[in-house]
Structure 1
């Protein structure tokens, strides 16, 4: 009887013999494949195994992220708000904050945190007295709710009507076109219904220009 020859030791003859049988190649291939997988399994497991993250590490990372955001926010030199002044002061404060928020891509919750940090004097007293009403215990502070409360406090009904009348009577006069455009944009926010339609807004802007520019 011919002694059995290993296919691995004599690849040329083994492969020819296997091809002839039609059965040995699949069997040999799966044996080699399974041995290779079994040998590599421990190494693969050590690479792909997820790293266990301790809860305290997550808290630290979140806190560091929060402190980093505050640091970046303050580097932009955001204005403070004391609650003293007319409606325009409050409006410009919100506008300046919104620009900083957009640059830092703040979430609605982060916006409240940064804005509250900039409240001083009378405005800080107002916030301390009303924050629990605006955001009950357990509630998530969001920017829209803060804005509603802020507007109710610092944009009285009478003050808004005065600004709306000022907008309706606005004329370029001695202002440059750029100056007139800035004033138009500032006052139009007090009369949102009058500028909802873009054509109407453009008409109002054009009507306020000096006659030689219309």
Structure 2
């Protein structure tokens, strides 16, 4: 298990434009040949957008993009005609396939924070695909078969435990609160990269007055 701390991430974005970004993997000008990917995961970016700010239309291709809103409202528009507002508890996926363009903005009244994860597809090409699952239930898995991956959203009260799926690769990102895994304590923004996960559990801890931790767990074959 390789633990990566929140303060080890690369800082990006454009603060003058109301955009603050924290990159867990090599990204853009923050090139690190030893931190290019883990399993199918190519990027895990924490984006913080001030009201009225966002990312103008830009392209993607051959990438599975999965977004989890931490707080606020994310407005999405893409070149295939989809437009939606994504909130906490929703799972958004954009399969960029052979190519798609999209816009991501904070058109809401308050600050917006979201976690965006990019996964490598098993095969390139195909047609773009978009969906939002609203209010996904705790521990309900969300499959991304194009990347051979499954996302598990878990919310743990202090002392509550959950199994980390046995898998060739498992990636655990702590959204809020704190957990203990294999003797290591992880707080918000921390992540664990686990190879050959077997019999591993995460236990919720009380942290900063929060009674519940929230985890995003990727199970990858």
Pairwise TM-score range, normalised by the shorter structure: under 0.3
Relative contact order higher in (CA < 8 Å, ≥ 6 apart): 2
Give the structure with the higher percent strand.
2
